Amino acid sequence: MMQDHLVVSDDSNHPANMVCSLSRQFYEKEWCVGTGGSIAIRDEETGFCYLAPSGVQKELLKPQDLFVLDGNSKEQDVYLRKPAGLKLSDCTPIFQMLFQNFNAGAIIHTHSPNAVLTSLLYDDVFEISHIEQIKALPSERVNAETGKPVNLLFEDTLKIPIIDNQNFEYELTDGLQEMCQKWPHGCAVLVRRHGIFVWGPSITKAKIYNESIDYLLGLAIKMHQLGIPTVKKN
């Protein structure tokens, strides 16, 4: 069941190519070293989900290494493609939950050092306000016409919930789902002493959210070191 045609494409924007090129880029940022981290993309047109395997050096990922799951099926585990000799990511139940219940088009999971450090500086929620870059992230408000979330304003406060880590990644699924229900327009959850999950309606949005959040987490750590609160009192 190799089904290579599902993952081999000349188009650099094909989900299989995007998983690989972004994994390489994230490795360079030290977000995915030592086989850590994972990316999953649901193709909007076909509903097929492309998943990185477990325990593989992310900077060396090839399209042929990817699992493809039928995202249209009601059943959880209908695989259209299973690469020989590779294991599914432990994050797969989390990815499926986000695809099915929260309309995610793509999910990025990293071990970003900024995420790990921030999770040690805040209790239940990371908060930052009055920084221009938060305008790249969705708010809890929706556009009256489209029903889609609008982005944060400069004076808003970005909030990202933090959940405690578990021994196995699949054990994080319930905790993440609970946070998604509590923050229905959120796009990220920090996992204490572990890293972060970021998602969006498309891989482009998820990537923009992820790098904007990492920029803000890095800034927050430096503000902490300089004694500057990350939420500004008006």
Residues in contact with a second copy by CB under 8 A are 30, 33-36, 57, 111, 113, 116-117, 120-121, 130-133, 136, 153-155, 165-167, 191, 193-195, 204, 207-209, 211-212, 214-215, 218-219, 221-226, 228, 232
Q: Is 111 annotated as a binding residue?
A: yes
Q: How far is the CB of 170 from a second copy (least distance, A)?
A: 13
Q: How far is the CB of 131 from a second copy (least distance, A)?
A: 5
Q: Is 91 annotated as a binding residue?
A: yes
Q: How far is the CB of 75 from a second copy (least distance, A)?
A: 30
d(CA 140, CA 227): 29
User: CA dist 120 to 123, 161, 165, 215, Å?
Assistant: 8, 13, 12, 17
Q: Given the complex with a second copy, which of 143 and 167 has the nearer CB atom?
A: 167
Q: Is 109 annotated as a binding residue?
A: yes
Q: Is 14 annotated as a binding residue?
A: no
Catalytic residue among 132, 155, 171, 178: 132
Q: Given the complex with a second copy, which of 80 and 116 has the nearer CB atom?
A: 116
Question: Is 75 an annotated catalytic residue?
Answer: no
Q: Given the complex with a second copy, which of 43 and 214 has the nearer CB atom?
A: 214
Q: Given the complex with a second copy, which of 130 and 159 has the nearer CB atom?
A: 130
Q: How far is the CB of 67 from a second copy (least distance, A)?
A: 21
Binding-site residues from annotation: 91, 109, 111, 194
Binding-site residues from annotation for Zn(2+): 109, 111, 194
| Residues designated catalytic | 132
